[in-house]
């Protein structure tokens, strides 16, 4: 099949609803690819530089806390002193020395990371899947790219191969816990390097003229190697797959060290497995999202997907793998409640996303029926209720009749349970639910502003019909 086509479509809005556009607006170059990017996000160059240095530093600090301070937040002996053996400078030097000694890439860590990511890349070419079309690229006269979606089959084959390798002794999955520091650095270097390569070879689209900001945001929208879209590859096949591998590594580590696996460790592995499966089973809807159609591929997406997401979201697994389960394990009734809750939360999120995605796909003529597991009820709405606007239609049916962001609350409930799975012995596993809450709130405020500009008075009318974002009659 050709890698790209040009066709007339109805464009899907970034808010998740469908906005109809006519053929002229699709096919004319609405965006000048050489126009200067004037609206700078994240505080411009100072803010993006702070993020590119601050987040890696934070992740190394938390790594040191987890592995060398019993999972507790480390501070200088004298928090009021800057210099001296007990001051901040000596403390930072000590943390840096531990990182240098224990977290530098090793031959084995580089091999493990390279084989895993390289294997995913090869599977992206050869495993069975479906073809899906993206949205028209406004800066390329409505050109539409084709996407080969086979993450579902590739992920299950990967899980089988890794499980077989562990069972036969070819590779002990528990080693990913021991290699966490070197793997983190290997992934971080990969994230920075991939962002640099795509920046240099990109088509210089929507550039600000500031090197720091443009490296952070990226210079190209759709970097590709053959049929593989690098942005979608990193988002699905790398980030969540590595996170699940770390979760199962914690399971293997517990069994190796204690002779059994705690219900808490299984809870985290189950939760991350559900999330990975949901991402893969709905991959065919990703090409029509705002991320693929607007977000450029720079440091933000490269580093975050190759290193940030898998290694920082896994703190609960790392804590459990390095501590006696007897110190945090829940009772069976509590575990049963948490397992049921996370299953329902993931089910709700899956259905919400399916309802929205199915609605958009039908409107754009890109609907593909896939018989992936699980097939949940109410995922597809026939002739759904909508609010007709001058810019298209807004979904007013299913979960979307009650909340503007029903997927956000169910997503955050899962994040809370991921953190809770490690007990209350450390605050570090709760990094993910806290970070995720701030991210969801920021994204919601951004979407609200964008939709207000896009739909005008129709958006006010929509908010009267659906007044709550997260919890009915509350928020």
| Helix (H), strand (E), coil (C) string for the chain | CCCEEECCCCCECCCCCECCCCHHHHHCCCCCCCCCCCCCCCCHHHHHHHHHHHHHHHHHHHHHHHHHCCCCCCCCCCCCCCCCCCCHHHHHHHHHHHHHHHCCCCHHHHHHHHHHHHHHHHHHHHCCCEEEECCCEHHHCCEEEEEEECHHHHHHHHHHHHHHHHHHCCCCCCHHHHCHHHHHHHHHHHHHHHHHHHHHHCCCCCCCCCHHHHHHHCCCCCCEECCEEHHHHHHHHHHHHHHHHHHHHHHHHHHHHHCCCCHHHHHHHHHHHHHHHHHHHCHHHHHHCHHHHCCCCCHHHHHHHHHHHHHHCCHHHHHHHCCCHHHCCCCHHHHHHHHHHHHHHHHHHHHHHHHHHHHHHHHHCCCCCCCCCCCCCCCCCCCCCEEEECCEEEECCHHHHCCCCHHHHHHHHHHHHHHHCCCCCCCHHHHHHHHHHHHHHHHHHHHHHHHHHHHCHHHHHHHHHCCCCCCCCCC
In this model, does residue 470 exceed pLDDT 70? yes
pLDDT at 381 > cutoff 50: yes
| pLDDT for 290 | 84
Q: Confidence class of residue 25 from pLDDT cuts 50, 70 and 90?
A: very low
The pLDDT of residue 257 is above 90: yes
pLDDT digits (tens, 9 = 90+) for 189-224: 999 999 999 999 998 888 999 999 999 999 999 999
Residue 330 pLDDT: 98
Asked if pLDDT for residue 22 goes beyond 50, the answer is no
Amino acid 54: pLDDT: 98
Which two structure tokens, joined as six digits, stand for 93? 């030097």
Per-residue pLDDT at 1: 40
Compute the distance between CA of residue 259 and CA of residue 172 in angstroms, rounded to an integer. Answer: 15
Flag whether pLDDT at 474 surpasses 50: yes
Instruction: Quote the CA–CA distance of 349 and 410 in Å, as a whole number.
Output: 6
Mean pLDDT of 360-387: 94
Contact 158, 120 (CB under 8 A): yes
Cβ-contact 234, 63 below 8 angstroms: no
Output the pLDDT for position 31.
Answer: 58
Kindly report, residue by residue over 115-131, the tens digit of the pLDDT. Answer: 999 999 999 999 999 99
When pLDDT is cut at 50, 70 and 90, the band that residue 291 belongs to is: confident
pLDDT-based confidence at residue 34 (cuts at 50, 70, 90): low
- Has residue 471 got a pLDDT over 70? yes
| φ, ψ dihedrals at 223, nearest 5° | -65, 135
Higher confidence at residue 295 or residue 36? Answer: 295
Mean model confidence pLDDT for the chain: 92
Contacts of 391 (CB under 8 A, 6+ apart): 13, 19, 20, 454, 455, 458
Q: CB count, 10 Å around CB of 381?
A: 20
Is the pLDDT score of 9 beyond 50? no
Angle (CA) 345-349-354 rounded to 5° is: 150
- Give 474's contacts (C-beta < 8 A, 6+ positions apart): 468
pLDDT at 32: 64
pLDDT at 336: 99
Is residue 143 scored above 70 in pLDDT?
Answer: yes
Range 245-274 average pLDDT: 98
Q: Give percent above pLDDT 70 in the chain.
A: 93
pLDDT at 27 over 60: no
Q: Which two tokens stand for residue 96?
A: 């840096």
Per-residue tokens: 467: 């007044």
Percent of the chain's residues with pLDDT above 90 = 85
From the centroid of its chain, how far is CA 46? 24
- If phi > 0 it is left, if psi is from -120 to 50 it is alpha, else beta; for residue 473 that is left
d(CA 225, CA 323): 42
Please say if the pLDDT value at position 246 is more than 60.
yes
Q: What is the pLDDT of residue 226?
A: 94
| 433-442 residue pLDDT tens | 999 999 999 8
> What pLDDT is attached to residue 41?
87
Instruction: Give 47: exposed, middle or buried? Use CB within 10 Å, 0-12, 13-18, 19+.
Output: middle
Instruction: Establish how many alpha carbons lie within 13 A of residue 359's alpha carbon, considering only the half-sphere containing its beta carbon.
Output: 31
Mean pLDDT, range 261-281, rounded to an integer: 98
- Looking at beta carbons, which pairs linking 290-293 to residues 24 or more positions away fall under 8 Å? 290/13, 290/14, 291/231, 291/235, 292/134, 292/135, 292/222, 292/229, 292/231, 292/232, 293/14, 293/134, 293/135, 293/137, 293/221
Evaluate whether 99 touches 181 at the Cβ level (below 8 Å). yes
- b/e for 185-222, b at 16 or more Cβ within 10 A? bbbbbbbbebbeebbeebbebbbbebebbbbbbbbbbb
């Amino acid at each position: 099949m050709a890698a790209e086509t040009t066709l007339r479509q109805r464009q899907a809005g970034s808010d998740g609803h469908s906005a109809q556009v006519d053929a002229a607006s699709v096919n004319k170059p609405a965006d000048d690819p050489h126009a200067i990017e004037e609206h700078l996000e994240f505080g411009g160059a100072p803010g993006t530089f702070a993020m590119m240095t601050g987040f890696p530093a934070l992740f190394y600090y938390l790594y040191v806390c987890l592995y060398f301070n019993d999972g507790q937040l480390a501070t200088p002996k004298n928090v009021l002193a800057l210099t001296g053996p007990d001051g901040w400078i000596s403390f930072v030097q000590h943390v840096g020395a531990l990182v240098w000694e224990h977290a530098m890439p090793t031959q084995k860590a580089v091999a493990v990371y390279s084989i895993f990511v390289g294997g995913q890349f090869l599977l992206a070419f050869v495993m069975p899947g479906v073809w899906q079309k993206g949205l028209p690229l406004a800066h390329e006269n409505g050109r539409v790219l084709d996407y080969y979606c086979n993450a579902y089959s590739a992920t299950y084959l990967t899980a089988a191969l890794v499980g077989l390798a562990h069972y036969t002794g070819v590779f002990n999955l528990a080693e990913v816990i021991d290699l966490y520091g070197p793997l983190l650095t290997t992934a971080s270097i990969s994230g920075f390097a991939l962002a640099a390569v795509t920046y240099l070879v990109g088509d210089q689209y929507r550039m600000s003229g500031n090197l720091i900001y443009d490296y952070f945001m990226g210079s190209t929208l759709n970097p590709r190697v053959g049929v593989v879209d690098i942005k979608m590859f990193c988002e699905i096949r790398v980030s969540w797959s590595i996170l699940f591998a770390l979760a199962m590594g914690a399971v293997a580590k517990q069994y190796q060290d204690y002779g059994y696996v705690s219900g808490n460790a299984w809870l985290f592995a189950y939760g991350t497995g559900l999330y990975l499966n949901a991402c893969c089973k709905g991959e065919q809807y990703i090409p029509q999202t705002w991320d693929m159609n607007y977000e450029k591929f720079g440091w933000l997406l490269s580093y975050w997907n190759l290193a940030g997401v898998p290694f920082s979201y896994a703190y609960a697994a790392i804590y459990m793998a390095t501590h006696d389960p007897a110190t945090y394990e829940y009772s069976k009734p509590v575990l049963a409640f948490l397992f049921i809750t996370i299953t329902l939360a993931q089910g709700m999120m899956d259905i919400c996303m399916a309802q929205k995605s199915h609605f958009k796909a039908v409107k754009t003529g890109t609907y593909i029926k896939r018989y992936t597991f699980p097939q949940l009820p109410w995922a597809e709405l026939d002739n759904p209720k909508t609010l007709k606007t001058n810019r298209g239609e807004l979904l007013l049916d299913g979960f979307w009749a009650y909340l503007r962001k029903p997927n956000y609350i169910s997503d955050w409930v899962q994040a809370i349970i991921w953190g809770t799975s490690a007990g209350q012995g450390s605050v570090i596993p709760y990094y993910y639910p806290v970070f995720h809450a701030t991210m969801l709130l920021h994204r919601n405020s951004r979407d609200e502003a964008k939709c207000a500009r896009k739909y005008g008075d129709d958006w006010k009318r929509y908010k009267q019909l659906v007044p709550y974002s997260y919890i009915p009659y509350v928020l």
